[in-house]
Amino acid sequence: MENFKIDVDADGIALITFDVPGRSMNTLTSSVMAEIPQLVERIKTDDAVKGAVLTSGKASGFCAGADLGDIAGGMIGGASLQDAYDAGWKMNGALRALETCGKPVAAAINGLALGGGLELTLACHYRVVENDNRIQLGLPEIKVGLFPGGGGTQRLTRLIGVQAAMMAMTEGKSFRPNDAKGAGIVHEVVEKGQSVEAAKTWIKNGGKAVQPWDDKGFKLPGGGPYHPAGIQNFLVGNAMIRKQTYGNYPAATNLMKAVYEGVQVPMDAALRIETRYFIKTLMTPQAQGMIRSLFLSKQDLDKGAVRPAGVPKSDARKVSVLGAGMMGAGVAYVQVMAGIETVLIDQTQEAADKGKAHVEELLKKRLSRGQMTQEKFDAALALVTATTDYDHIKGSDLVIEAVFENREIKADVTKRAEAQLAEGAVFGSNTSTLPITGLAEASVRPEDFIGIHFFSPVDKMMLVEIIMGEKTGQTALAKALDYVLKIKKTPIVVNDSRGFYTSRCFATYVAEGLAMLEEGYAPALIDNIGRMTGMPRGPLEMHDDVALDLSVKVAKQTQADLGDAYVPLPGAHIVQKMVEDLGRYGRKNGKGFYDYDTKPKTLWAGLSDLAPVTIKDSTPELVEDQKHRLLYRQAIEVARCWEEGVIDDPREADVGAILAWGFAPWTGGPITFIDQTGLKAFVAKADDYAARYGDRFQVPQLLRDMAAKGETFYGRFAPEKKAA
């Protein structure tokens, strides 16, 4: 076998080492799945084998789950529903054979086990995990529009009960080793390097070769659907899933169906039920869009798919950050976590020290959770130099400018920093709206000037938007991408434009909420509709989050830059009055569209004076129409960015939209949303909105041309065609 190595010791215990060749992490590929039945047959029929211990040969982890590009592709591409079911059953059938092989099998978990990786261990009779807080155990499939399809819905539920299992699976929750033991997912936690020996000891001490659910006396923890207490899990769970998903995610509903039906029958029938619902979910447009964008495309981008060919790889060892506010300090934190020497500069030593203190605070959280040793904590913090002295920039490979959104200030720090930089070092501006080409006018070497746009909070937001100015060179782009990949963020590359890609498109969501407010929609209705689209927050509360005064500042800067060509957004006067006359800046000062001095926050009572409510009541038809209004407005702006050349890769457009501003993940992203709607239908609906609400819903000519030809973005602009 290619993926498993078997060594039988003097006690007759087979040590099975899982080690997929040519990969840094084990995944369940079609090749692995083909070998598991061979593995089971060896354990079952070899008289010399008394039991088996399954562990990983990788230093990076036990198993990261199924290779969706390989496994799911085969299921989706089946010639019939039966073919898809048969492909889906392979894993369930193989793991069921493992747990019924008649000999004790233990899992020695020496690294992370996620998705199918955890499901593989759940099919073992005993689970030992090493005491390392870097190890995660969980079933995160819901995050890509699926649910566990390798027995996870049935085994986890039978181990820990319906309520705990459903919460873990619908949230995609990961457990640290001791938490997993406390939850009942693993049997034993041992020190590093001791998992194999502990697993062998269990076998030698008479480990039982029968799963709990295969015992005649087994009872489901907490009770099933017909148990007085158990029924409550399904009644309440059904309501909670609806509250969390608004019906946008078939995976969550099908997950509950699989659990509800599965716990009422023996395991063999339960696994067949799970497989049917898994295949049904896999074939939904939501799952296929999410798998492509959040797994396959994101994986491509994380591996540098858009990096210029022929440019030697770089390794940023020292990076200076200008501006030690929350953004700059956040950048400093992710840098030191990647082992990068960091110079944190601000106007005063007090401000610089405050930035370093924020880095220290984030590091302390990791230390307290056992995710970092004291030695590594001390080494990471020592990488940060907080200063006001620009001389410290000397020797930097890259500068990240994260100062206030003001052209004059940015121009000043650009000149001061560049005076210290060696030839070939890159200057990156972390601006969210100001065009890079204009900012680069302050640079003496615009070919090395680039936009590197982080999102707040930097330690949690995974996307970085890289912006090419008119004179930015390919070497600077390659170095910026190498840096972003080193700090373990997902990069997208866009061309220069006001607001670039993410800020420009996100602004349409907030602006459309303001337009609805101006039209007389009740504020609560606006935000509820926004949440129902699948966006993380409603447009008004999201506006509060990003700061109302920032919107006013950006609007004034845009007006100054565009002059007579400037067109105020609907409802902009409402925000301006809130900021300039009433001092309501949003969440940051506790006063915006909402008041934040109570928990939970409440809508500001005075808002009705600025925007009288005439539309209070809703119907299902109105809600559905306005949900699409909010999604279409964003998608149309994405299409305009495409026609203008701001972005030209469907992967970057979709992944960037979901990771940057939370564009409804169930859609797979705005480009997938347009493609799956169908260009002809999308244009017709957009024209209807344009007739009702104005020219901001007018689609670019590109969409009309594509609709006439029956094209799709992923067909016409496939990444492989771009590469060719």
Q: What is the pLDDT of residue 79?
A: 55
Q: Kindly report, residue by residue over 330-343, the tens digit of the pLDDT.
A: 999 999 999 999 99
Q: What 3-state DSSP class applies to 87?
A: helix
The stretch 631-656 carries a mean pLDDT of 97
pLDDT, position 51: 98
Is the pLDDT confidence value at 70 over 90? no
Q: Which residues pair with 319 in a beta bridge?
A: 342, 398
Helix (H, G, I), strand (E, B) or coil at 304: coil
* 441 has catalytic annotation: no
Distance CA 34, CA 49 (A): 21
Give the E-state strand segments of 585-723 in sequence order: 594-595, 602-603
- Cα-only R_g, the chain: 28
Structure token pair of residue 440: 């680069």
70/151: higher pLDDT: 151
- Kindly report, residue by residue over 263-311, the tens digit of the pLDDT: 999 999 999 999 999 999 999 999 999 999 999 999 999 999 999 999 9
| pLDDT at position 317 over 90 | yes
Edge-to-edge strand list for the sheet holding 490-495: 384-387, 341-345, 318-322, 398-401, 426-429, 449-453, 463-468, 490-495
How far is 157 from 152, CA to CA, in rounded Å? 8
Cα end-to-end distance, the chain, whole Å: 37
Contact between residue 602 and residue 594 where contact means Cβ atoms under 8 Å apart: yes
Q: Which of 134, 310, 289, 359 is nearest to 672 (CA)?
A: 289
Fold of 503-719: N-(1-d-carboxylethyl)-l-norvaline Dehydrogenase; domain 2 (1.10.1040)
Structure tokens at 462: 């995974």
Alpha-carbon dihedral angle through residues 98, 102, 103, 108, given to the nearest 10 degrees:
30
Is the alpha carbon torsion for 634, 639, 641, 647 positive or negative? positive
Q: Which CATH class is domain 318-497?
A: alpha beta
pLDDT computed for residue 617 by the predictor: 84
- pLDDT tens digits for 35-57? 999 999 999 999 999 999 999 99
DSSP output for 499-512: TTTHHHHHHHHHHH
The per-residue pLDDT for range 143-153, each reduced to its tens digit, is 999 999 999 99
Q: What is the pLDDT of residues 520-550, one digit of tens each?
A: 999 999 999 999 999 999 999 999 998 999 8
223-250 residue pLDDT tens: 999 888 889 889 898 899 999 999 999 9
Kindly report the CATH class assigned to 4-283. alpha beta
Q: Contact at 8 Å (CB) between 65 and 117?
A: yes
DSSP 213: G
pLDDT at residue 129 above 70?
yes
Q: What gap in Å lies between CA 485 and CA 491, rounded to an integer?
A: 7
Q: What is the pLDDT of residue 597?
A: 93
Interval 568-620: pLDDT, tens: 888 899 999 999 999 999 999 999 999 999 889 999 999 999 999 999 888 99
pLDDT of 72 strictly over 70: no
3-state class (DSSP) for residue 6: strand
Whole-number pLDDT of residue 720: 75
Domain ranges, ordered by start, for the chain: 4-283, 318-497, 503-719
Q: Pick the closest to residue 304 from 480, 72, 130, 531 (CA basis).
A: 480
What pTM does this model have?
0.93
Q: What is the mean pLDDT of residues 467-496?
A: 98
Note whether 112 and 137 are within 8 A (CB). yes
- Side chain identity, residue 281: T
pLDDT at 102 over 80: yes
In DSSP terms, which residues pair with 429 in a beta bridge?
A: 401, 451
Q: Which of 203, 212, 206 is nearest to 185 (CA)?
A: 212
Whole-angstrom Cα distance, residue 617 to residue 693? 20
* Integer Cα distance of 454 and 419 in angstroms: 24
CB atoms within 10 A of CB 83: 14
Catalytic residue (choose from 99, 274, 465, 541): 465
* pLDDT tens per residue, range 7-40: 999 999 999 999 999 999 999 998 999 999 999 9
Q: 581 exposed, middle or buried (CB, 10 Å; 0-12, 13-18, 19+)?
A: exposed
Instruction: Provide the pLDDT for residue 723.
Output: 59
Number of H helices, E strands in the chain: 32, 19
Q: What is the pLDDT of residues 172-217, one digit of tens each?
A: 999 999 999 999 999 999 999 999 999 999 999 999 999 999 999 9
The set of residues, in sequence order, having a beta carbon less than 8 Å from that of 499 and lying 6+ positions away, is 432, 433, 505, 507
Q: Across the chain, what does the average pLDDT equal?
A: 94
3-state secondary structure of 586: strand
pLDDT at 64 over 80: yes
Same fold, 318-497 and 503-719: no
